[in-house]
Structure 1
Amino acid sequence: MQAAPGVDRPVPDAPAGNWVDRRAPVFTRPYLRLARIDRPIGWWLLLLPCWWSTAAAAIAAGQGFPSLAHLALFLVGAVAMRGAGSTYNDIVDRELDAKVARTRNRPLPSGQLTVAQAAAFLVLQALVGLAVLVQFNGFAVGLGLGSLAVVAVYPFMKRITSMPQLVLGFAFAWGGLMGWAATFGRLDAPAFLIYAAAIAWTVGYDTIYALQDIDDDPIAGIKSSARLFGERAALGVGLCYAAALASLAGALALIGVGPVAWAGFLAFALHLAWQVKSIDRRDGAKALRLFKSNRDAGLLLFAGLALDAVIARAL
């Protein structure tokens, strides 16, 4: 498929009136959409386990508020690596994307960019991510590089398994390990539990996201947990969220957090319960809203952990 320079085709699942559609120079828009800059929820969901783990490590280390340098590095890294992962995913999935209403206007299937252009952009974003990663200790650098193996296989999972969301969880939850490793230069039981919690959380919210495509996916030959759970989608998401909360509670108990962290945990749990109660597998627009609301859910938990770290240091 040939590129179509100058053609501006917004994607239907981007927020209406986002700054990319309104203000970015036209020639940059396909690249920004390829990196999902018009849909920031992706990098938020990649970032939040990093911040949870960083805040939990701050409590365990008695250091007060989580390292601002680490929080900022994880923010830049999440934006860069979310963009790189999305670009790689779109290169691999360009033919499948052309068959699904929600994705056929993406830059590659719509012909706004060539594969070579997308590949060059992928390398650029990966280099930014690498520049961020090498700011951490050696153990964290090696751990971060290890995540690339999971990222590499994820796009192919929707062709061979009904639970590609689980593989996505392995990748998106990696920050649950990274924040702890960046603080201590090692991994301990709480970090593994935070990682497990983030995996289950990812499977849950991405199942909600997949409800948008439940009619088109069979046509394109795409498998998903939404299709697997079928009419019991709410039950499936609820079980995933319950597993996330159980793992997270175990991590907080091992660390010995205070009441403010537990209050953040409770707010997070109530938000997840509200999502499960609100699921309507036939309402794609509502599914997208619920999916996006996980940014707020994750920030509630982070706020509780960060404030608890400050209080614990002050006492």
Structure 2
Amino acid sequence: MNQLKLFVELTRLQKPIGYMLLFWPCAWGLTLAYDFSKDLGNYFFYLVLFFLGAVLMRSAGCIVNDILDKEYDKKVSRTKNRPIASGKISNKLAIFYTIILCLSALLVLLNLNNYTIILALGSMPLAFTYPLMKRYTYWPQLFLGITFNYGLILGWTSIKEEIDLIPILFYFGAIFWTLGYDTIYGYQDIKDDEIIGLKSTSIKFKSNPIIFLIICYSIFYLITLSMGFLMNLNNLFFFSLAFVFLQIFYFQLKILKIDNAKNCLKIFKSNNFLGLLVYFGIFIGKF
């Protein structure tokens, strides 16, 4: 039982925000591409597949992150008690868990078409090299955005079996969404990160974060709006964007306090609701 508890802690399964932020772009891409005049059962089958894939790959990613960041995690108050950093789980066992999770994710992936399988496998290097980026660049959040939103492309190709300008444009916008919310997340650890020499957009823009965050979220919002026009979504989609706007600029940026870790975590977590709002808007916009 104790080992199961450690596994849950290692993979952050008790913190759904991680895999939900990975799942929402998948759901956006899938919903955009799906023809709802056809069998809805197939749509929900794919939605479940992408959810399972998000949980499995996020869990594997957490383990790889903790293996690579073991020595750094020991020096950060928020992460020093993680199973690998604290020595409760060995690297050998952690690697075994990673292999099992990746094989399970592959079984999920094999339910999709060949085009999507190839694209998904091509993204693996991104998923497992992201943790290294904060050692070399102030833009690790950019690499996270490229990785975390890749599912938007996969959601689209799982239906269309081809790439198109619209999902690429939306993918580009979603990267800026991640740039925003992960910069907010990074303010929890900014003092420790500066001491041990790690880099992030949180540190780079600490003197004036609001301007940077407004730029990131505005790009995401305007591209999402443009995507609605390009896809000929109905008026309900554009009405839903009013709530997206409020969530971003009133319930996130207006109340953000970068020197308050609890406030930053709360605002970061609220992006799960933002992901749901965008998904719901796309869904109702297709009818």
Question: TM-score range with shorter-chain normalisation?
Answer: over 0.9
- Classify 1:187/1:282 alpha carbon distance in 2 versus 1 (closer, same or farther; 3 Å): same
Alignment partner of 2:91 out of 83, 97, 115: 115
1:75-121 deviations in whole A, cap 9, x for unaligned? 10000000011111111011111110010010001111000010000
Partner of 2:26: 50
Alignment partner of 1:160 out of 124, 128, 136: 136
Q: Report the CA distance between 1:264 and its aligned residue.
A: 2.6
Partner of 1:127: 103
The CA distance in 2 between the partners of 1:229 and 1:64, in whole Å, is 48
Q: List gaps (5 residues or longer) in structure 1.
A: 1-24
Q: Report the CA distance between 1:200 and its aligned residue.
A: 0.6
The CA distance in 2 between the partners of 1:263 and 1:131, in whole Å, is 39
Q: List gaps (5 residues or longer) in structure 2.
A: none
2:199 partner amino acid: K
The two structures, once aligned, show a CA RMSD in angstroms of 1.4
Partner of 1:69: 45
Q: Report the CA distance between 1:265 and its aligned residue.
A: 2.6
Q: Report the CA distance between 1:250 and its aligned residue.
A: 2.1
Contact 1:210 1:224 (C-alpha < 8 Å) held by counterparts: yes
Q: Does 1:295 align with 2:272?
A: yes
Partner of 2:6: 30
- Classify 1:250/1:64 alpha carbon distance in 2 versus 1 (closer, same or farther; 3 Å): farther
**How do 1:163-312 and structure 2 match up within 5 A?**
163-274=139-250, 275-309=252-286, 311=287
The CA distance in 2 between the partners of 1:156 and 1:251, in whole Å, is 33
Contact 1:140 1:185 (C-alpha < 8 Å) held by counterparts: yes
- Classify 1:139/1:53 alpha carbon distance in 2 versus 1 (closer, same or farther; 3 Å): same
Partner of 2:64: 88
1:72 partner amino acid: V
Q: Which runs of 4+ in 1 moved over 3 A?
A: 61-66
Q: 1:180 is paired with a residue of what secondary structure?
A: helix
Q: Report the CA distance between 1:287 and its aligned residue.
A: 0.2
1:157-213 deviations in whole A, cap 9, x for unaligned? 000000100000010010110110001001111110121121110110000000101
2:243 partner amino acid: A
Aligned sequence identity (%): 35
The CA distance in 1 between the partners of 2:174 and 2:151, in whole Å, is 9
Q: Taking structure 1 as the reference length, what is the TM-score of the superposition? A: 0.87
The CA distance in 2 between the partners of 1:245 and 1:293, in whole Å, is 16
